[in-house]
Every structure is written in structure tokens, then in C-alpha cells.
Amino acid sequence: MSLFSALTASVSGMAAQANKLSTVSDNIANSDTTGYKQAMTEFENLISQAGTSSYNASGVATVVRYNISEHGNLKSTTSSTDLAIQGNGFFLVGDANGSVFLTRAGNFKPDATGNLVNAAGFTLLGYSASSGNSSSAGLSGLEPVNIFGDGLKAVPSTTGKLTANLNSNADIVTGSLPSANVAGSVYTSKTSLVTYDNLGNAVKLDVYYSKTGTNTWEASIYNAADAAPGGGFPYSGAALATQTLNFSASDGSLTGQSSISLSVPGGANVAIDLSGTTQLASAFEVSAATTNGNAPSAVQSVSISPDGTLSEVFVNGTQKAIFTIPLATVASVDNMTSLAGDVFSDNSLSGPILVGDPGLGGFGSIQSEKLESSTVDLASQLTDMIVAQRSYESNSKVFQTGSELLSTLNNMLK
């Protein structure tokens, strides 16, 4: 039986080396495939019963494993939708059947509908800002990440903030105050504030500060479009709002009324926060002059931050967050099932899919304009190919020798 077992063992050896050569061939073919994880052929001995006076060769069996937990180097690109993960985690992607998989192949591009799809045809999944879902929703709240928004719609201003320092050493105004809206009105300082009406048109407001007494000022706001030819007074329309500002003599902080309300022409009512306004012995200076609302604008590009926030960038420079891209993992990464397209599925050995936020809970960060290279080392693969070839030849030599011995036995019976 030892001679026959030698033949059997040599055949299993050739099959094992052929299997190894197959993994080497696949690795070399995918050495430039984004997110590809190198396959390895591992060998294990098949033990058989053997006595002290004879030996029965048992042969060898192979198991193919993937180094899924190994990370490839990151390379730079020029596309904002090319994504890589710096650290642990996988992107969640889906197929046409609604199945969810994990991958690190982040070469995403928008398809005809705006969904981000990678080169293998899998769609990136995330949580839309409009849904209010987050990683706490797990797999149930996921939907295709789509970058084709409706553009930025016009939003009228409803709130604002105006913070300034008024010079406490300024002279008290004598003459007609801005609130009188007459030619030659006198004021101490002036600034402006941009608001938006219901159609998204910018409405510039002129803001006048006039010192009327010790620790007392008047603030008057006009529609800049109503100014007299060449600017200033008299405005064709009355003041949109006028308010007295009182300041503390001890520290220069604003006391009493700390906001001013007005109606934007063609727009909504706006409440402007003045609480940070001060009266100190230094020059007039505006540190904040902002309002909410915006003009309509088309989408120019998208931006993806390390925490997974995907924002539309509009032509006017405004950004709007529309999706959050989560990351996922399993308890035993290397035990996941490897499938075509460089995706992986969970199973009983790997454990279920766990979803989390980039940069938190052990997950890495998302890098835009980056792609993860294949983990294949070409030099080691070429070495493995040579070793597999020589081992295959050696096993074939064993088979050839065994066959010759069998022929010798057969000839003895003739």
C-alpha cells in the first residue's frame, strides 16, 4: 500500500501547488485593483495510520485565506468622490438586490441618477440628512448616497447677529439724528448688514450708531436701496427700525434691550442679536455681522470630510450637508466571506456587521481624493510562483518514479 499512497500523495501535492499557483496568478492580476486583499494558499498535512514497519503517505490539502484585515497604502487622486479609509473599518455598499456588503474599494463615481457607485457596480450607502438617521439606526436606516441635489433654494433671513464696539470717547451728536431721516443727519459710526428676501435677493441694510448721551446711543437701520443719490440721507423710505442702546458705566456692556427686530423688504421679520455690543475706550469695530438665509445657487461640487459628512458645495460658496457616510466592521474581519468585486459578507465565523461613525469607537477616518492600493507584494508573489513550480515538478517526479516502480512489478508477473 505504501507505493500506491506515494502516488496518491504526489497527486495531492500537484493539486495543492496548482491551487497555490492559482492564488498567485489572481494576486498578480489584481496587483493594481483598488482595495484588493491578497489571497494565500495554506497547506495542511493529511495524517493517516502508519505502522512501525511501513508508512502510508497521506498527502496534503489546501485552504485559501484572505488577509482582509491588512491595509493597503493610500494614493492620491483628483476626484472628491474617491474615498479611502485611514485606519480600521469598511464602507457599506449595496447591490441591485438590496444586499449589504463591506468593502474598502472606494473608487466611487456618480451614476446617471447621482448615486455613488464604485468600479465593481456596488452603491455606497449612508444616512441622508433629511431622514435624521445616524449610525445608531444600524443597517435599517441606510440608503444610497446621492449627490444630485435640487440646488440651494432661496431662504429668507429670520435671524442675525451684529456685534460691535462703540467708542466711549466719541462726542455726543448734536443736530438731527439718523432716525429723523433728513438731509444732513449726523451719526457717530456706520456699518452694513446683508439679509435675504423671500426670492433670495440680497437686501443690504445700512446701520447707523449715534451717541446721544453718556452711556446712551441710538441705532437706526435703513434699506440701503432707499438711500439718496450718492448715498446717505434722506432715504426714500422710513427707518426699518430704531432703538436706544444703554451701556453699563462699570464695564461697557449692553444693558436692557439686547436685540432689534425689523421686517426685510420683500422678506420676513428678522431678529438681530445685539447682545455682544460694547462701549469701550477704543475705536469703532465690527466683529460680527451675519444673518441666516441665502440666495438660490446651483451645485458646483461635493465635499467629504474625515468624519464622513458629505456636503454639496454651491456656486456661491455655501455648503450644505446632505449625507453622512458611516463605517462598519465585524468581530473577526479575516473570517468574512470574500466575494467578487472586492466586497465581503458577514457569516457565523466573522460575526454580524457593526456600524459606527468615522473617527470614533476604533474606526478610522475617511480620506477624500484618496484610494487604497492592493495589498499584493509582487516580489513575494513571483517568489511563490517559482516555489510552486519547483514543488509541482518535484511531485510530478515522485509520481513518475512511482509509476515506473509499478511497471516493474507488473512486468514481473508476465
286 shares a domain with 340: no
Give the orientation angle of helix 2-29 with respect to helix 378-412, to 10 degrees.
160
Separation of alpha carbons 327 and 87, rounded Å:
11
Separation of alpha carbons 141 and 80, rounded Å:
24
82 shares a domain with 66: no
Tell me the CATH number at 242: 2.60.98.20
177 shares a domain with 288: yes
* 323 close to 92: Cβ distance less than 8 angstroms: no
CA-based end-to-end distance of the chain: 21
Which amino acid appears at position 65 of this protein?
R
Query: How many Cβ atoms are within 10 Å of 17's Cβ, its own excluded?
Result: 24
Cell of 277: 455690543
Burial of 179 (0-12, 13-18, 19+ CB in 10 A): buried
* 410 close to 402: Cβ distance less than 8 angstroms: no
Range of the domain at 190: 157-292
* 121 close to 91: Cβ distance less than 8 angstroms: no
Q: What is the reported pTM?
A: 0.67
307 shares a domain with 200: no
281 shares a domain with 162: yes
Q: What is the pLDDT along the chain (414 residues), one digit of tens a residue?
A: 567 777 777 777 788 888 888 888 888 998 988 999 988 887 777 666 555 566 666 777 778 788 899 999 999 999 999 999 999 999 999 999 999 999 999 999 999 999 999 999 999 999 999 888 889 889 999 999 999 877 778 899 999 999 999 999 999 999 999 999 999 999 999 999 999 999 999 999 999 999 999 999 999 999 999 999 988 999 999 999 999 999 999 999 999 889 999 999 999 999 999 999 999 999 999 999 999 998 888 888 899 999 999 999 988 888 889 999 999 999 999 999 999 999 999 999 999 999 999 999 999 999 999 999 998 989 988 998 998 888 888 878 877 887 777 777 777 766
Which amino acid appears at position 62 of this protein?
T
**Angle, alpha carbons 324-328-329 (nearest 5°):** 170
284 shares a domain with 163: yes
